[in-house]
Structure 1
């Protein structure tokens, strides 16, 4: 955004600007470029010192093992029910084919083969689903015990979490602070030097001498039409 502003100001500076006004314009553009650089640095530092740190804290501070098992169990459940549905439709198709006197032996065998395949697939999904349920059941008591421990440590955990947020707020304040940024001081000095050069009277005098009433212009003589 700031870089776009700098480019637009540079483009505008090519229009008819005279003497000190043009000088101040161009030097102000150069001063703003420092602000654009700092804005990019702020964005980079916020990502590195704040956002990435929050992501890492979440990654290493929360246990995912039980949730991972639950997710796998839910996926296995969906697969099992999906396969059961396909088996049900295959059996209906087989019943229709078997009762249809016009069906060939090849069609009947194909329908039966489809049923057999889905029965095996269903059984496989059922076994996976059942195993994951058993895994969850076997881990439930340990998980509950761990949860009670976590609840017992809740105050310490929450204190550490909030203290980490305080560190992040401090980091955010530091990366957005301008007091110690030399470019900020440099930008202010450039602005002050540029603005001090601005002189409206000098620009008007320059215009009059080169383009206005003080130019040596030979005005044409006009004949009197009545003579």
Structure 2
């Protein structure tokens, strides 16, 4: 700033020496050139003819800075909602497909590999929930706290920092603005005097060429021209003097304005620095590739998938459901009165439970994509007889039946006391059938039979039959 003032002093000296005998246009040019020697930022504040009040843009940055903090918080909150929604969708997708896969025909190590994809979704969902928590609980709170410390609202509106800057600029500009106003008035007077002088000279010249103009009138026109020249010279001197006075107070004005502007810049430096740091923190929360837990999820997924052994899966299926399985051929059985008096499992006339109604469906989701083949689905052999009494079944009487007649008994534990939830409303048609609503919970006491019925017990203690496809395990 001192160098700038010295530079201006040199131009001011030249300007003062040039006042006498130099045209006003030349003086104005020198004055404008002197302003160009100052800081570009201050020159922006002092653009020609609009210099007074141009500091408003610097003051407005305080209001803009506060609003930008609100914008950043709104931006982060919206992103947090997206992260949460994505995590919830992953969890719902994983739950639905895990149930479908577990009930479907896939088995062995490949089934475990497939289920590992669901596990990946659950873990990634947790990571996205952590992203959401980081954005809301850390980043948004950090911006809110900084905003509260950096901007202080006033009871009358606006911010204390903006008011102080505005008052500082007004105080620094007031003396110079007064001189500027005087200079503009003097310039206007001078220009009007020049116009009058030119018009008087024109009238005098026309009077000399016209015969109708008397000698006395020509004399008056000449006196008018002389008077206009005198007024013009006087207005010129006043204009030059006011311009000189304005130029003398300009260095102090520039210095005062720059001092206030620097204070505004210091506050803006703090805001920009904070914003940069906040964005780096946001990037750290968003960038899951730098999260070790994220990398671990996919290492475990890859290890599980690579661990799938097709030959072992084929061998397991052959041992449990193929020619290598243990055969339990029918054998002669003596009459057992206890077995004959045992409760007979209900057998529906048409052999299959009713189709579930979609009018009342429980929240777990659509089962339309469930594979038609389920792990617990039983297949009858060619020698099985639908009219065979249940009491004569090998499985009922101690295990003399052929294992091929009930695939679900191989490698799968009997479901004793398994809690299930109703997917649909069901109204019992007979006394030995249960009645429940979608969402009710009950206990499955016997697995699904070959006709699609299960035996269960309500929480009230009532036992009975219900369609297997009306419930899902909890």
> Which piece of structure 1 moves more, 201-210 or 44-53?
201-210
Instruction: Check whether the contact 1:28–1:194 (CA below 8 A) recurs between aligned residues.
Output: no
Aligned residue for 1:145?
167
Which 4+ stretches in 1 moved above 6 angstroms? 212-220
1:197 aligns with 2:219: no
Aligned residue for 2:202?
none
Aligned residue for 1:97?
none
| Deviation per residue, 1:159-179 (Å, 9 max, x gap) | 211111100111012122335
Distance 1:144 1:9 in 2: 63
Shift of 1:199: 4.2
Q: List aligned pairs for 1:43-122, cutoff 5 A.
A: 43-65=132-154, 68-70=155-157
Instruction: Check whether the contact 2:94–2:122 (CA below 8 A) recurs between aligned residues.
Output: yes
Unaligned runs of 5+ in 2: 1-88, 171-258, 328-379, 384-474
Q: TM-score, normalised by structure 1?
A: 0.52
| Deviation per residue, 1:115-173 (Å, 9 max, x gap) | xxxxxxxxxxxxxxxxxxxxxxxxxx978425668644222222211111100111012
Instruction: Check whether the contact 2:98–2:118 (CA below 8 A) recurs between aligned residues.
Output: yes
Provide the aligned length of Structure 1 versus Structure 2: 149
Aligned residue for 2:278?
168
Instruction: Check whether the contact 1:32–1:187 (CA below 8 A) recurs between aligned residues.
Output: no
Distance 2:298 2:94 in 1: 16
Q: Quick one: structure 1 residues 218 and 59, their matched pair in 2 at CA, closer, same or farther if it must change by over 3 Å?
A: closer
Shift of 1:187: 0.8
Secondary structure at the aligned position of 2:128 is classed as helix
Q: TM-score, normalised by structure 2?
A: 0.27
Which one of 108, 116, 127 corresponds to residue 27 of structure 1?
Answer: 116
Q: Quick one: structure 1 residues 59 and 146, their matched pair in 2 at CA, closer, same or farther if it must change by over 3 Å?
A: farther
1:12 aligns with 2:122: no
Which structure has more RCO (C-alpha within 8 Å, separation ≥ 6)?
A: 1
Aligned residue for 1:225?
none
Q: Quick one: structure 1 residues 152 and 10, their matched pair in 2 at CA, closer, same or farther if it must change by over 3 Å?
A: same
Instruction: Pick the structure with more helix per residue.
Output: 1
Distance 1:143 1:180 in 2: 43
1:188 aligns with 2:289: no
Q: Quick one: structure 1 residues 142 and 196, their matched pair in 2 at CA, closer, same or farther if it must change by over 3 Å?
A: closer
Secondary structure at the aligned position of 2:105 is classed as coil
Shift of 1:2: 2.1
Q: Quick one: structure 1 residues 151 and 38, their matched pair in 2 at CA, closer, same or farther if it must change by over 3 Å?
A: same
Higher-Rg structure is 2
Instruction: Check whether the contact 2:109–2:313 (CA below 8 A) recurs between aligned residues.
Output: yes
Q: Quick one: structure 1 residues 44 and 150, their matched pair in 2 at CA, closer, same or farther if it must change by over 3 Å?
A: farther
Instruction: Check whether the contact 1:31–1:191 (CA below 8 A) recurs between aligned residues.
Output: yes
Secondary structure at the aligned position of 2:288 is classed as coil
Distance 1:44 1:55 in 2: 16
Q: Quick one: structure 1 residues 5 and 146, their matched pair in 2 at CA, closer, same or farther if it must change by over 3 Å?
A: farther
Which one of 262, 266, 277 corresponds to residue 156 of structure 1?
Answer: 266
Unaligned runs of 5+ in 1: 72-140, 221-227
Q: What is the root-mean-square deviation in Å for CA atoms of aligned residues?
A: 3.4
Instruction: Check whether the contact 1:28–1:190 (CA below 8 A) recurs between aligned residues.
Output: no
Aligned residue for 2:436?
none
| Deviation per residue, 1:53-79 (Å, 9 max, x gap) | 1222222212311xx3149xxxxxxxx
